[in-house]
Structure 1
């Protein structure tokens, strides 16, 4: 297990991380974890590594983009003094280009703004934690010519570049999803190409647990 005992692990992101969590519940309590991959990770760590006493916190919020994370980073991350931080953001930064074109949005997150803001979050955090996991945003999509998917690829590349530049752990969830879609339909994992169902959340949770050095057969 690569996570030190008695550590606090904070997961932050958008609706893929949120998944119905109770915002009013105490951080780390059952209701605060939501019903997605964060809860699954907490359950696995609690059941299989009882001696590690690991606290898992969920700070995902539906609809968030990297600029939204920046606005709440102090209160929702730094003030909680986590030992490890997992960041999954980017799908909404891209989606807004495609779901609101006729509304002429003026607050779109360009690729440059995405990179600059993301780097600022890393700069504020890196020296204060034991580790940061950068997770690639992803889609359950096999059509490489899909316009939204093509744009998402650029944002995924930025996350990977930032991980390498800052010497942080990078988890390519798109690769994990793609391997599954080589064998089964996307409808097994998601109903809208973006939000995982319970199968999809287990796939994500398993990828993160592997990165943490988790062993089911321990």
Structure 2
């Protein structure tokens, strides 16, 4: 009997950033892998996630490689980096995710997905800068939730307030979970899988092996690696984000901020409706 095969797709969250083990990242997916099968059964785990990946990378690069491995279980957790680009388009994001999810479900692979908090809130950006990013992430989460239901995925809600406010769950960069946060993600996914009778092994431990990052560690990250992170994204995002922020300020001054939310909601509805039409056409 061949080992159970688990393949993880996504960006830095799934790559394991924030959970260092020696000279590498571990992360929630690897922690979860050990609990998918009983102790006397083997699990083959492959992590294809890459820091900075967007939905296009998952579709064009990671998915073909994952399909070739013929996985029994696959996780696709992606979308935050799309919201940080001036090219963000929720319809394109929806089309890519729908194609990726369908590809794995066609092979009867168990699919795992998650919705995530927005980076503006995590970084503590000023309201005019944070609100456009929050709106984009809500759009992505709505699409992920709808498509997860359509494709029968095991879906984890990880965008709730408790997840945001518990500082002990986050690494020094305030963008990625720390070890404790990665362990909580693994535990919560394991619980969902166990409810379906899929996770047959023991749940991963929730107790961290390392201390929670100190405030000085957070400040050091912001002054060193954080500066580079912001600089790389500002080249692409900042001019566009400033335009979005200016629009945000104008609408708030006029009392018409709700129009921005309504517009975003309409875009999500149109994106999902277009997928439904395409699905019906293909089925005909």
| Structure 1: runs of 5 or more not aligned | 21-29, 98-107
Which residue of structure 2 lines up, in the alignment, with residue 179 of structure 1? 162
Distance 1:36 1:216, change over 3 A: closer
Q: Indicate whether 1:135 and 2:114 are aligned.
A: yes
1:157-199 Cα deviation digits (max 9, x unpaired): 1000101122222111213xx22445x33x6413334211212
Q: Indicate whether 1:157 and 2:142 are aligned.
A: yes
Worse overlay, 109-118 or 53-62: 53-62
Displacement of 1:203 in angstroms is 1.6
Q: Indicate whether 1:83 and 2:72 are aligned.
A: yes
Which residue, out of 82, 87, 103, partners 1:93?
A: 82
Which residue of structure 2 lines up, in the alignment, with residue 126 of structure 1? 105
Alpha-carbon distance in structure 1 between the residues aligned to 2:48 and 2:105: 18
Which residue of structure 1 lines up, in the alignment, with residue 46 of structure 2? 57
Which residue of structure 2 lines up, in the alignment, with residue 41 of structure 1? 32
Q: Helix, strand or coil: the match of 1:96?
A: coil
Q: Indicate whether 1:212 and 2:193 are aligned.
A: yes
Displacement of 1:39 in angstroms is 2.3
8 Å Cα contact 2:79-2:140 kept in structure 1 = yes
Worse overlay, 37-46 or 149-158: 37-46
Alpha-carbon distance in structure 1 between the residues aligned to 2:111 and 2:39: 23
Aligned residues: 187
Which residue of structure 1 lines up, in the alignment, with residue 94 of structure 2? 115
| Structure 2: runs of 5 or more not aligned | 205-284
8 Å Cα contact 1:34-1:58 kept in structure 2 = no
Alpha-carbon distance in structure 2 between the residues aligned to 1:74 and 1:174: 25
Q: Helix, strand or coil: the match of 1:67?
A: helix
Superposition CA RMSD, Å: 2.9
Which residue of structure 1 lines up, in the alignment, with residue 171 of structure 2? 190
Alpha-carbon distance in structure 2 between the residues aligned to 1:192 and 1:94: 18
Task: Give runs of ≥4 in structure 1 deviating > 6 Å.
Answer: none
Distance 1:34 1:119, change over 3 A: same
1:83-102 Cα deviation digits (max 9, x unpaired): 111100001001224xxxxx
TM-score by length of 1: 0.74
Q: Helix, strand or coil: the match of 1:212?
A: helix
TM-score by length of 2: 0.58
More helix by share: 2
Which residue of structure 2 lines up, in the alignment, with residue 7 of structure 1? 4
Alpha-carbon distance in structure 2 between the residues aligned to 1:41 and 1:129: 20
8 Å Cα contact 1:138-1:194 kept in structure 2 = no
